[in-house]
Structure 1
Amino acid sequence: MTNTGTNFGSLHDPDLGRPGTPPDWARRPNAKDHLRLKARALREQGMTYDEIRAELGVSKSSISAWVRDLPKPAPRWKKVPQMQRLERAQAAFRASRDEERERLTSEASRQVGDIDDRELLLIGAALYWAEGSKDKTYARRESLTFINSDPHMIEVYVRWLELLGVERHRMRCSLHIHDSADLTEATRFWSEITGVPAEDFLKPSLRHDNPGTNRLNRGPSYRGCLRIYVTNSARLYRQVEGWWQGISGWAAAPGIDRLSGMV
């Protein structure tokens, strides 16, 4: 029996494609062809799968099937916007923190108010016992010797010495400072703080400055430490030791609510 039907597989017309395959003109259009072409164009522009998915609204698996033959785009720095947001948030936090610090410091400063002589006496005694030179059984140092780099600390100490009747000519001042600093300017500065004439300052104690060290106290604001030795102060030293014993004895006494009303 002869088959008179048409068999596309038997035809060898090159326009019809390989045997058993309908030609391109015979296929139905695919609804996603335009998305595929768009995805390929976006990939060639350097977009990632996530960016293409957000642009076209198709799955990553479809995108992968459409563009997998294309070269992977060069990596891009995508964290710039995130870093900018983080920096802005950190700047806002620092500004808020600084404002809170200023507020609390100002409130605490106003709580102090005026200080009478008795309060200054106790403040100075505690200050000296924390920062001043103290007598030891193996090294007798019954004299007032105080050293510090904080100008305000020095101001309080000098006011305390005035309360104790110490005149300026009994204050022997000397600098402990690196040799790279401006010694003349530092002397002038401490002279104004203490009221002791610059020409009366003793020979400074200089320390060699190694430029290779990571020392932050450099520049015009660096003025070293000031040492103040009070002549003929053995009797005063013994009094300071007694005042401190009184303060520390009060602190050790049981059953006293000392912090009530402070906060």
Structure 2
Amino acid sequence: MAHSPDHHTPPESLRERAVALRLQGWSYDRIKEELGCSKSSVSLWVRHLPRPDPGPARERARAASRRRWDRESALRDEERRRAKAAGAAEVGSLSDRELFIAGVALYWAEGSKDKPHRRSEVLQFINSDPQVIRLFLRWLESLGVGRERLTLRVSIHETADVRGAERFWAGVAGVDVSVFSRATLKRHNPRTVRKNTGDGYHGCLVVYVRQSADLYRRMEGAWYGIVLGVDSAS
């Protein structure tokens, strides 16, 4: 706590106090605020002392900053958890219709689409997110598509653990690893700085639905139905 300037305090007492504080590693500014005197006076009184080692003070500041950050990080994590829990509770269980609409929107955003210059009315989906893959497979199941109609293939960088990735995606899809087609390997470009490395990298899973032209047309029509429904509601 800073002392109020006391005109009755002998300068010698202030000087002795300034020296003591400087020996504790205090800066000129802190001593000035503490004693209520000018910085030039502080300098005059303690300039004969060696400059304090900034190491301990710097470490204390860093430790205080880390503690502050840890508290803020914990609060943010709790806020995220509560927001996610509230979002999940808001959705609840999906009806068959809601699952159908969710799957259509997901496919139109992430799946392979038919183009006027490239006729390809077939359902093919690729993604690296296990939860997205699970939702897509559940959507197919709700449409009566059995696993026997699916061709599954891993797409991954050639330097990664291909067999480990196939085991990972087999667990996600709930199938035996033996059903996978030959993996698609992405060639290494030495000029590219890759961030998708490490044990958490499993590449993408490609899901191809055989004999799916009619299903693709139904999905595309449903997507345009969603768009028209939104337009009519506005």
How far apart, CA to CA, are the structure 1 residues paired with 2:135 and 2:101?
A: 12
**One-letter code of the match for 1:115?**
L
The residue number in structure 2 matching 1:111 is 90
Q: Which amino acid in structure 1 is aligned with residue 170 of structure 2? A: S
| Aligned position for 1:9 | none
Does residue 231 of structure 2 align to residue 252 of structure 1?
yes
Structure number, greater radius of gyration = 1
1:248 Cα offset (Å): 0.7
Q: CA deviation at 1:160?
A: 1.2
The residue identity in structure 2 corresponding to 1:169 is: E
Change (3 A) 1:168 1:53: closer
Counterparts in 2 of 1:63 and 1:126: CA distance versus 1, 3 Å:
closer
Mind listing any 5+ residue stretches in structure 2 that lack a counterpart? 1-9
Q: CA deviation at 1:101?
A: 0.8
CA displacement 1:46-78 (0-9 Å, x = unmatched): 76544655777754444445566x477367354
Whole-angstrom distance in 2 between the partners of 1:235 and 1:188: 32
1:76 corresponds, among 44, 54, 62, to: 54
Decide whether aligned partners of structure 1 residues 59 and 119 sit closer, same or farther in structure 2, where only a CA change above 3 A counts. Answer: closer
1:193: how far off? 2.3
Q: Does 1:197 align with 2:176?
A: yes
> Residue 40 of structure 1: CA displacement?
6.9
Q: Could you give the per-residue CA deviations for residues 84-128 of structure 1, whole angstroms, max 9, x where no partner exists?
A: 322222211110111011111112212222222222111111111
Counterpart of 2:84 in 1: which secondary structure? helix
The partner residue of 1:169 within 148, 151, 154 is 148
Cα distance in 2, alignment partners of residues 39 and 123 from structure 1: 71
**Secondary structure in 2 aligned to 1:253?**
helix
Q: Which amino acid aligns with 2:131?
A: H
Cα displacement string for residues 170-190 of structure 1 (whole angstroms, at most 9, x for unaligned residues) = 101111101222222211222
- Of Structure 1 and Structure 2, the greater helix share is in 2
Is the 1:47–1:73 Cα contact (8 Å) retained in structure 2? Answer: no
Aligned to 2:117: 138
Q: TM-score, normalised by structure 2?
A: 0.80
SS in 2 for 1:133: coil
Kept in 2, the 8 Å contact 1:169–1:196? The answer is no
Q: Report which stretch shifted further, 115-124 or 237-246.
A: 115-124
Work out the CA distance in 2 between the residues paired with 1:122 and 1:132.
14
Bigger relative contact order (CA 8 A; separation at least 6): 2
Matched, 1:102 2:104: no
Structure 2 partner of 1:235: 214
Residue 163 of structure 2 corresponds to residue 184 of structure 1: yes
Structure 1 residues 99, 212: CA separation in 2 closer, same or farther (over 3 Å shift)?
farther
Unpaired runs of at least 5, structure 1: 1-30, 256-263
The amino acid that maps onto 1:141 is S
Post-superposition Cα deviations, 1:121-146, rounded to whole Å, max 9, x if no partner, equal: 11111111111100110111100000
Contact 1:44 1:73 in 2 (8 A): no
Q: Deviations over 1:180-238 (max 9, x none)?
A: 22222211222232244322211111123468754332222221100011111111111
AA aligned to 2:139 is: W
Letter in 2 for 1:160: W
